[in-house]
Amino acid sequence: MAKRKQDPLAKRAIGRFIVLDPEICHGKPTFRGTRILMADVLEQAAAGVAWETIIKEWRGGISMEAISEAVLLANQTFRDHPAQCPAPGYGLKRVQV
């Protein structure tokens, strides 16, 4: 049986809470049912903002479980595809010990 190719322009779930929809935010990962970008929430979490505060700032549009999924998906992506995850503005420097 031949595999069907997935339409790259079709809406698809990449997790329970995270979706890619070309009709919403140019197809960037968002939280299901919102226009909240996964990247924005991850940036807040990386800056040390408490998850409870993030939820309040997004007026409850996301949950603790949704943030957890976003962190896990980002970690998995970085682990599985490190060459595709450059950190603009950051470079590795050799440290003398």
Say if residues 30 and 36 touch (Cβ distance below 8 Å): yes
Please list the pLDDT of the chain residue by residue as tens digits (97 residues). Answer: 556 666 667 899 999 999 999 999 999 999 999 999 999 999 999 999 999 999 999 999 999 999 999 999 999 988 888 777 666 665 555 555 4
Q: Which residues 6+ apart lie within 8 Å of 21 measured at CB?
A: 11, 12, 27, 30
Residue 28 CA to residue 34 CA, distance in Å, equals: 12
Amino acid 8: pLDDT: 64
Amino acid 83: pLDDT: 78
Amino acid 76: pLDDT: 92
pTM (predicted TM-score): 0.76
